[in-house]
Structure 1
């Protein structure tokens, strides 16, 4: 795990021997914006996660974990949240899942 999602992308790119321009093209970005993402000056657009997964042959669920983990960490740092915030968030996710399951149940 890298400190930021941008650093994670840079590591993937350099490990594969791609230039900024080559990867940016695969992600439908220009190389300047990709450089800003790698340097933490711009956020990566989650709509491009599928393209990133394809570019590096990554499991999309693992990539989402890395991306959203980074997003949560930034928000928690920004607002000086305690680690307990993650426990509460997990409980809320489980609750939301249970609501969706109940709504999807078919009653005869």
Structure 2
């Protein structure tokens, strides 16, 4: 996906012919907050991912991937990190997973 998570939500909303007010109501938000999310001025609340998946009949695992990849990309961009940051993060994930499996 070459769009932010907010832009992704806006695209889903417009493709499904929903107004800001209609989608906001389905997500238990007010339309002003949803507009800020779509325009990348506010972060989408992780707790609403399940609702978003239900509204648009999306696979929750794929949606979580989109959401968290957006958060990670923004952090890397905001902190002016280089590409090695992702490679090192992948190594740390593998380490954490291996550590967890030895504790189980």
TM-score (norm 1): 0.91
**Cross-structure match for 2:98:** 98
Greater Rg by CA: 1
- Asked if the contact 1:6–1:44 (Cα under 8 Å) also holds between the matched residues in 2, the reply is yes
SS at match of 2:55: helix
Q: Kindly state the Cα deviation for residue 57 of structure 1 after the two structures are TM-superposed.
A: 0.7
**Cross-structure match for 2:81:** 81
Number of residue pairs aligned between Structure 1 and Structure 2: 104
- Alpha-carbon RMSD: 0.9
* Structure 2 gap segments, 5+ residues each: none
1:19 aligns with 2:19: yes
Q: Kindly state the Cα deviation for residue 83 of structure 1 after the two structures are TM-superposed.
A: 1.1
Map 1:30-49 to 2 at 5 A: 30-49=30-49
- Asked if the contact 1:37–1:43 (Cα under 8 Å) also holds between the matched residues in 2, the reply is yes
* Structure 1 gap segments, 5+ residues each: none
**Cross-structure match for 1:7:** 7
Deviating 4+ runs (over 6 angstroms): none
